[in-house]
Amino acid sequence: MEPFTCFMDVDSSRSYINDLYSDDDNNKIQDSLIYLKNIVIGSDKQKTIVITQGIVPRLMFLLSQDSTPLPIRYDAAIVLGSLSKGSDDNVRSLIEAGLIQVLLKIVTNLNADKHLMEICLCVVRSIYEHPFAPKEIINTTSTLSYLIGLASPENTIQCQACVANILVPICHNSIDQKMLCKAGAIPLLARLITTRYTILQIPALKCLAAMCFTNKYVSDIVCVTNHEERSIPDILSTLTSRARIPEIQIAAARCLTYIHRSGSLSSTDSRIVYKTLPCLARLCTEEFEENIRATAAETLAYLAEIDSELQRLAAISNHLINSLSNLLQCSNPAPRQGAFRCFASLGANDEEIRKRIIEKDGIMEEVLAGLGDPCADVRLAAVRCLHSLSRSVQQLRTTFQDHLVWRPLMALSSGSPSNELLTVVTSTICNLLLEFSPAKEPMVELGAIELLCQLTQNSELALRLNGVWALMNMTFQTEEHIKTKIINTLGTDRIFQLLNDSDTGVIMKTLGLLRNLMSKSTDIDNIMSGHSDQLMHMIITVLESPHTPEIKEQALCIIGNIAAGAGITDYVMENERILKKLFDFINHKDVKLQEGAMFAIKNLIEKSDLNTPQRLSRLQELGIIEELDKYLNSTSRESSRSSEDIRAMIRRIKSYSS
């Protein structure tokens, strides 16, 4: 009685190997392949043994030879297909052996046996379910066009489904998207999503979404493509109906979301407002499976992320805030991540929505728990949510103070967080350091100044910007000891480097930092007594550079602060280069430069101290009255400064000179 081969171990029965390599007995080869089929099915261990025994090249040889009997080629392909459903290491071994090339040669052979072609196509699909499969092998116009042709209605449903599934993972960037578009994928996908077979609709919808993601070129083509006299967006909106299974609804809603975010459908389009958004809000409710709810929350977050009206509509749709709150109770990371992302999106712009979110029982506790979640994606989503909520002035003073949110935030910034996480953390810290926030002093004690000064040296622009931005917020109307610590920790050399940064935003925030540092007379005297030469050099460098008027205006405002507040030395009057720039800008054609120069000049004129007579006399010698007269009489003057202000300044100068 023959034993059941399906219960045998490959490693314990070696005779099948000799039979597999037989040159003149096809029956032995066939029996060996049948044995292999039975033994490797469903067992990763047996798959690994077969691969390590070096049998794959023989299987590929049997498959690729036209002279090999078709039954043997079928079985060889089936065994390889089973191996392709094994572990990642198993699949990597098959790829390294060149299996994809062998399979594609058969698949794209016009004369290939149809059944063999379909088996090989199924193996290709299995391999490309793994993210490391090399997409460049398939991503050629000729190969893609041939595959798309195989998905014609004349071929089997299985064949069409294989093609649709293969197209999904190979679409990663704009080049892939356009290549698929040019190969004719859009008309194919339009047809597949209208069939009655979900095994065709779902991969087709996924592929369509991947093609439209952040790609207006492709999305525009999708919007004007019709199938049976209906546009694709109209077909998609129909598929979001409750009558469809949830998997179809969510896939169609994702397509419409990506088309909208690409800029091809407006936020007021009825298919977005009345179909996509309500569908996603509905799919977040507890009646659906967790994976559907998680995907719906993530997609809704993306849909409403930048549009305040969509955020408002979503917040009042289908008890969404309650649904998202329930998602936070799930043990799996994906639903929690989706809920946090959606809360972040909803609260991005509207104070009332933020209030409703925070007042939901247990939300802040869940957010703080999310900051310590073992899953990195959940931590990032929780910080995004906290950042969105931190835009509320009222909540910074109340709820955030009650929950001491800066402690877990500062903890997240230590160690080696990813740049993406650190960027959102520091963006939240920027809000927590606003002058009305009670978190400023506790965060200084936790090392915020050292952290932010270190960030200003980061090679990542977003982190560098957040570092100097947060320092600017921290110095606004703050205590002298904090300002002194910041300038000593940061150092004037680093400030100068930031003023020479390649990014305009960094330069503007650095000037804002300097302006805040020198906003009070005592602060100005303390800082200028030790750093006047460096700081004045920085300012004149900015004024003499080809920077925008907005940047130079900030530098002029700093000069104005110094002119008004310095009690010991007339730093501005001692600097001929700065005085020259002030005079140049009084009658400049740009109103920002006019205003900045007049702010500084006014402070120099109106300041009363022991140096006033000498200062006004020197200004008169330089021709300030003539410049002010010219400014006063200019018909093209755009500044908002009143004529009476100018005349008062002139009278003050003349009164001292007389």
Q: Which of 464, 542, 555 is nearest to 505 (CA)?
A: 464
Report phi then psi at 114, rounded to 5: -65, -40
Q: Which of 141, 131, 185 is nearest to 160 (CA)?
A: 185
**Picking from 63-72, 315-324, 509-518, 607-616, which range would have the lowest pLDDT averaged per residue?**
607-616
pLDDT at 191: 97
Q: Are 169 and 218 in contact (CB under 8 A)?
A: no
Task: Name the residue with tokens 């087709």.
Answer: 204
Number of alpha carbons in the 13 Å side-chain half-sphere of residue 375:
13
Name the pLDDT band for 473 (thresholds 50, 70, 90): very high
Given a cut of 50, whether residue 3 has pLDDT beyond it is: no
pLDDT at 637: 54
Name the pLDDT band for 8 (thresholds 50, 70, 90): very low
Taking residue 564's Cβ as centre, other Cβ atoms within 10 Å add up to 19
Angle in degrees, CA 180, 183, 189, rounded to 5: 65
Interacting residues of 262 by C-beta distance below 8 A, sequence separation 6+: 212, 213, 214, 215, 216, 218, 219
Bridge partners, 77 (sequence order): none
**Alpha helices, DSSP H, located in 500-642:** 504-517, 521-544, 549-565, 576-586, 591-606, 612-621, 624-633
Name the pLDDT band for 643 (thresholds 50, 70, 90): confident
Compute CA distances 347 → 312, 350, 391, whole Å.
Answer: 9, 6, 9
* Predicted confidence (pLDDT) per residue in 418-436, tens digit: 999 999 999 999 988 887 7
* Predicted confidence (pLDDT) per residue in 523-545, tens digit: 788 888 888 888 889 999 999 98
Q: Is 513 helix (H, G, I), strand (E, B) or coil?
A: helix
The stretch 466-489 carries a mean pLDDT of 91
Task: Name the residue with tokens 């006063």.
Answer: 632
| DSSP letter string, 212-262 | HTT-HHHHHHHHH-EETTEEHHHHHHHHTSTTS-HHHHHHHHHHHHHHHHT
Question: Looking at per-residue confidence, does 625 or 335 come out higher?
Answer: 335
> Which amino acid is located at 645 in the chain?
D
Name the pLDDT band for 2 (thresholds 50, 70, 90): very low
Structural domains of the chain, with CATH = 520-658 (1.25.10.10)
pLDDT at 1: 35
The stretch 563-575 carries a mean pLDDT of 81
The stretch 508-525 carries a mean pLDDT of 88
Structure tokens at 545: 């550079």
3-state secondary structure 161-185: HHHHHHHCCCCCCHHHHHHHHHCCH
pLDDT at 60: 96
Q: Are 293 and 283 in contact (CB under 8 A)?
A: yes
* Predicted confidence (pLDDT) per residue in 354-402, tens digit: 999 998 988 999 999 999 999 999 999 999 999 999 988 888 888 888 8
